[in-house]
């Protein structure tokens, strides 16, 4: 007499399932597409469990087909089925894994298998992914047969508080593994469309460790994923063409990568990395959100491309980071604040900077192209990440006043210091052409001093907070005293000065002029003084020793509510004929000195024009200029 199989049984879900299922369907997942990702991940887990167990018990997997996941859709029903030939479940496991919310079969398996399961490509952690099926289905049917068992079981529920479980004939069940059938509700019938399935699998599950096939209506099969992940392969086994193809796929780019970073980190935190530095600048590099484009996977399952793993100043990097042990929240859509993600970000950032430094050393021309495209972004790190400043200074390249079109490193600049030079000088401006025309550079050019040309908006911020490089402070050419007196003038420039017939103003006359101009200009300037930073221009404006540089002040003043500009220092070139003539009139006193008062708005306005700005009082400047022209013409 044969043993009678248990009859169908109706059981209620545990843990107030109605409320919990409602939460899963309406709160945990913001994107309904992820239900298929979750079910495929569970199927891959089932195959990985059997693969792991078969290492110690080969007989358990004998006689079966190679591991794979099969998706089958019926548009008429409409329904969607996901089947695997993995470990399968018996009656008690169906009750434990599907009848109890947050009962994770994968977690239980890891605990039971101990070290024997370490390194397997298991995905699930919380045991709730299966319930995401009820977001799109009115009911779900599960047919499962555990590997090595001669029994098969059917589990069915509408997700409203109870489920049924009953034995089925072996002919109705898979030979081994599990088949899940989703009876789709009308609003989600599109999930039975071939195009929809292909899109979701490509986006989320193209790299799970088990091949995925789609069974078409005519009985043929289409392979959606081959069970491989390029980043899991050894670097030696991947061709340049494969890297290029994957770069185009993962980065949405059509150029060739300038740098390919492929490695696996092992230790307390394990993860695989395949990242690319583009060779050309993407159009959205300076978008306000400054979001990165690195895709985060966990055991080859796509999680998000919005994880803040790399700092914003590396947002141009494209590729994949695949974690082995990254803790996630219930839906895997939002990462928990956890030191693991910080450790991954720190480690990957270190590697990117090291590889960029290697490129700069081994192939200066290639690195120059990278810097041309992304240097402005990397310099954001100089401001935002002081702890990374030394590494970024090694990478930083600059255009300079003496370097022509070449990019110069800070080491190059320091190596080219003139005698008695103690600071790295820089000039800020809106663009290189404007900076090159600045009168502030004249005295430095006369002495052959190399000046950094800083035309990116971020330059005004990082250079102010940086203490220096190689023990040499950064100093603006438009701020404070020029301090170039001790640097010798170039021989050619000295020869020009000796041959010139222009006589500079005497110290006494210059003192009289600076006093008179300060009185005439009032609180527009905090000081008027002679300058050693000028060579051919009569005057310029500089910022006080402390406070913002001239360019930074312009940026801050342009912002809404930033207020007005602070008073500046007016510097005069004693050797310029105009200044020398005005100095003589100031020293003469009387009516001659009064002409200095009339010229004061012109000198101040001229200094502003040379600085790339309009006169502060255009009407007054125009009247003074017109009056001067009348006297000259008359």
**Number of helices (H), then strands (E), in the chain:** 19, 22
Indicate the pairing of strand 212-215 with strand 69-74.
parallel
Q: Do 107 and 125 touch, CB atoms closer than 8 A?
A: yes
- The 10 Å Cβ neighbour count of residue 485 is 11
Binding residues for ATP are 38, 42, 84, 89, 97, 104-105, 125-130, 178, 332
Residue with tokens 């200009």: 521
- CA 352, chain centre distance (Å): 12
- CA gap 91, 307 in Å, rounded: 39
Reference 51, options 164, 196, 208, 183; nearest CA is 208
What does the DSSP assignment read for 244-282?
HHHHHHHH---S-EEEEEEEEE-SSS-EEEEEEEESS--
- CA gap 577, 383 in Å, rounded: 43
- The 10 Å Cβ neighbour count of residue 289 is 9
- CA 128, chain centre distance (Å): 32
* 507 Cβ contact partners less than 8 Å away, ≥ 6 residues apart: none
Reference 478, options 528, 548, 376; nearest CA is 548
Indicate the pairing of strand 318-323 with strand 293-298.
parallel
Reference 124, options 208, 35, 38; nearest CA is 38
As given in the structure block, the two tokens for residue 144 are: 């499962």
Q: Which helix (H) or strand (E) holds 12?
A: strand 9-12
Alpha helices in 385-490 (DSSP H): 389-395, 410-415, 432-436, 442-446, 459-465
- CA 626, chain centre distance (Å): 55
The DSSP bridge partners found for residue 129 are none
Dihedrals phi, psi of 473, to nearest 5 degrees: -70, 155
- CA gap 415, 450 in Å, rounded: 11
Dihedrals phi, psi of 218, to nearest 5 degrees: -85, 5
Binding residues are 38, 42, 84, 89, 97, 104-105, 125-130, 178, 332
Reference 479, options 519, 536, 426; nearest CA is 426
Reference 208, options 303, 80, 129; nearest CA is 303
Angle, helix 105-113 to helix 34-56, in steps of 10 degrees: 20
Q: What sign has the CA pseudo-torsion 534, 536, 540, 543?
A: negative
């Amino acid at each position: 007499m044969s043993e009678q199989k248990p009859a169908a049984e109706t059981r209620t879900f545990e843990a107030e399932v109605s409320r919990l299922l409602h939460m899963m369907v309406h709160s945990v997942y913001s994107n309904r597409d992820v239900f298929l990702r979750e079910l495929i991940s569970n199927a891959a887990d089932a195959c990985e469990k059997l693969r792991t167990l078969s290492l110690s018990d080969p007989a358990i997997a004998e006689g079966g087909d190679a591991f794979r996941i099969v998706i089958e859709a019926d548009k008429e029903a409409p329904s969607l089925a996901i089947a695997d030939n993995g470990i399968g479940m018996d009656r008690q496991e169906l009750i434990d894994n599907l009848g109890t919310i947050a009962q994770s079969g994968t977690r239980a398996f890891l605990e039971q298998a101990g070290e024997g399961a370490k390194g397997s490509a298991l995905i699930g952690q919380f045991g709730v992914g299966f319930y995401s099926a009820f977001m799109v289905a009115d009911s779900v049917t599960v047919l499962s047969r555990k590997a090595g068992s001669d029994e098969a079981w059917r589990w069915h529920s509408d997700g409203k508080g109870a489920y049924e479980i009953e034995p089925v004939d072996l002919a109705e069940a898979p030979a081994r593994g599990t088949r899940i059938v989703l009876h789709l509700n009308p609003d989600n019938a599109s999930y039975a469309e071939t195009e929809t399935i292909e899109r979701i699998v490509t986006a989320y599950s193209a790299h799970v460790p088990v091949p995925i096939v789609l069974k078409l209506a005519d009985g043929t099969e289409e392979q959606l994923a081959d069970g491989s992940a390029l980043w899991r392969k050894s670097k030696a086994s991947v061709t340049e063409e494969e890297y290029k193809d994957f770069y185009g796929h993962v980065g949405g780019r059509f150029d060739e990568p300038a740098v390919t970073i492929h490695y696996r980190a092992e230790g307390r935190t394990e993860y695989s990395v395949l990242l690319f530095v583009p060779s050309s600048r993407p159009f959205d590099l300076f978008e306000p959100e400054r979001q990165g484009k690195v895709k985060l996977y966990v055991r080859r399952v796509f999680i998000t491309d919005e994880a803040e793993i790399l700092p914003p100043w590396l947002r141009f990097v494209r590729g994949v980071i695949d974690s082995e042990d990254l803790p996630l929240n219930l839906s895997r859509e939002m990462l928990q604040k956890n030191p693991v993600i910080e450790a991954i970000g720190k480690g990957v950032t270190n590697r990117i900077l090291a590889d960029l430094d290697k490129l700069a050393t081994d192939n200066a021309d290639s690195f120059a192209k990278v810097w041309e495209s992304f240097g402005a972004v990397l310099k954001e790190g100089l401001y935002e990440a002081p702890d990374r400043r030394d590494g970024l200074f090694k990478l930083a390249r600059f255009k300079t006043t003496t370097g022509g079109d070449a990019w110069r490193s800070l080491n190059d600049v320091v190596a080219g210091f003139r005698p008695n030079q103690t600071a790295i000088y820089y000039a800020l401006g809106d663009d290189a052409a404007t900076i090159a025309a600045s009168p502030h550079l004249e005295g430095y050019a006369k002495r052959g001093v190399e000046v950094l040309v800083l035309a990116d908006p971020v330059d005004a911020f990082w250079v102010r907070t940086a203490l220096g490089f190689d023990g040499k402070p950064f100093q603006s050419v438009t701020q404070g005293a020029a301090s170039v007196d001790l640097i010798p003038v170039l021989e050619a420039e000295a020869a020009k000065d000796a041959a010139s017939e222009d006589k500079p103003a005497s110290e006494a006359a210059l003192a009289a002029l600076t006093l008179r101009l300060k009185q005439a200009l009032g609180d527009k300037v905090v000081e008027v003084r002679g300058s050693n930073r000028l060579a051919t221009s009569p005057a310029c404006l500089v910022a006080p020793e402390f406070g913002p540089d001239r360019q930074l002040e312009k940026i801050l003043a342009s912002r809404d509510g930033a207020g007005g500009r602070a008073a500046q220092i007016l510097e005069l070139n004693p050797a310029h004929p105009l200044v020398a003539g005005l100095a003589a009139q100031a020293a003469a006193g009387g009516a001659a000195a009064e002409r200095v008062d009339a010229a004061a708005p012109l000198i101040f306005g001229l200094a502003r024009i040379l600085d790339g700005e309009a006169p502060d009082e255009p009407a007054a400047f125009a009247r003074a200029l017109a009056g001067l022209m009348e006297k000259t013409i008359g």
